Amino acid sequence: MNLQSKLEKEALAMGAAYFGVADLSLTQQGPVTPTEQNLILKYQTAISIGVPLDTAIVDKIGGQNDPLALRSYYSHVYHNISPFIDEITDHIYSSLRDEGYSAWPVPATETIDTQNQYSLFSHKMGASLAGLGWVGKSCLLITSDRGPRVRWGTVLTDAPLGVGKPMESRCGKCVRCVEACLAGAFTGRDFILSEGREMRMSAQKCLDFLLERRREIGVSACGQCVYICPWGKPK
């Protein structure tokens, strides 16, 4: 069994539902943050793993008027799924190091620029370049089977692995996430790799709404764009 197959088998055995590898040289076609640029100079590939969100928990936040459902969603995403993802990426990191390769497990939830809502490395960018889905008008990673109802983790590495091919967007003319956004944060523009996120989303509008929601119910919970996407709706 080669290294890539071994890593994928280990990730899936631990509970990941998605595994892919991204060619980070493709990021040269679009804007990245200074932190991401420094990481990309050191690591050539990114291993992306995805863990599905609980469908029942997501479905309960649709009305956005049940504080208990919103708190449950927040806890599920940030207290349950994110630490679980970190366990998997830490394991992949250890396996790579045991094989003699350099690696860096990116925390599932870590914001280094609160105002602009940038993390250490974009998990959605890694997953999209790995061909696990496409970036929708909501700026979320959309999978063909669960839509955006997936959380992502990343391990950067210099290991020579086979990379995936980015997918074309399948959103078409759908703008349900744009219309449903309570913050009015989305422009409705399709994802284009060469364009910055600000062309599709106002991070400030999203942040302001989440801060107000925290004052109202104690947690920065929304998830309306996750709930409303038809790609993730149970058939």
234 falls within a domain: no
**Domain count along the chain:** 1
Question: 3-state DSSP call for residue 114?
Answer: coil
Q: Is residue 116 part of a domain?
A: yes
- Judge whether residue 30 has pLDDT over 80: no
Q: Is residue 235 part of a domain?
A: no
Residue 235: pLDDT above 80?
no
Closest CA to 84 of 47, 132, 49, 128: 49
Q: What average pLDDT is seen over the chain? A: 92
pLDDT in tens, 136-170: 999 999 999 999 999 999 999 999 999 999 999 99
* Chain center to CA of 141: 6
Q: Is 99 within a domain?
A: yes
Is residue 129 within 8 A of residue 43, CB to CB? The reply is: no
Domain that holds residue 57: 3-228
**233 in a structural domain:** no
Q: Could you tell me if residue 41 is inside a domain?
A: yes
Q: Is residue 144 part of a domain?
A: yes
Domain assignment of residue 160, yes or no? yes
